[in-house]
Amino acid sequence: MRRCLRGELRTEDALPVRIHSQCMTGDVFNSAKCDCGEQLDLAMERIAREGRGVIVYQQQEGRGIGIINKIRAYALQDQGADTIEANVQLGLDIDARRYEQCVEILRDLGLRRVKAMTNNPEKIQAMRQGGIEVAERVATEIEPSKDTQKYLSVKKFQMGHLLSLVTS
């Protein structure tokens, strides 16, 4: 688990915060299969504009299944499975991530109010359950491409992600 801080962390203010799950393929190699790297870039740009904020970078690759299983899931996706179907075919959780440690880091930093930079309602719920007020949700939405349309549709319609640009 890593954290990146910028600027003064005045605990009375709602700071921009992103809980980001490691995505080697998206964050490092700019994979066309997901929007992870672009979401991280948006969060860093917002923090730079505001002059302060926090990114908690958790090592839960592939929604918690690990890099090897993620590559196996990618192979199934190349054969037509969606992101959920691929995990199920491999006998893996659809989403095995946990956010309690991330919330603990935010609390340890003294944060009580945040602007949550996320499309994932589970991250918002984890912050609220951990005693952090989510004063605002800041969308980190990327325009769907032909490569990400199916993936983002599954995230919206099957996983409940808050994605207004995805229509089908």
Domain residue spans of the chain: 2-60+97-157
* CB neighbour list of residue 160: distance below 8 Å, 6 or more residues apart: 121, 122
User: How far apart are alpha carbons 48 and 9 in whole angstroms?
Assistant: 14
First to last CA, the chain: 35
97 is catalytic: yes
Q: Which of 95, 98, 107, 112 is catalytic?
A: 95
Q: Which of 18, 63, 72, 97 is catalytic?
A: 97
pLDDT at 162: 85
pLDDT at 70: 93
pLDDT at 7: 62
Bridge partner residues of 16 (DSSP): 115
pLDDT at 54: 93
Q: Provide the residue count of the chain.
A: 168
pLDDT at 119: 94
pTM as predicted: 0.86
pLDDT along the chain (168 residues), means of 10: 58 87 88 88 92 92 90 93 93 92 93 94 96 94 84 86 79
CATH code of the region 2-60+97-157: 3.40.50.10990
35 is catalytic: no
The four Cα atoms 17, 23, 28, 33 give a dihedral, to 10 degrees, of -110
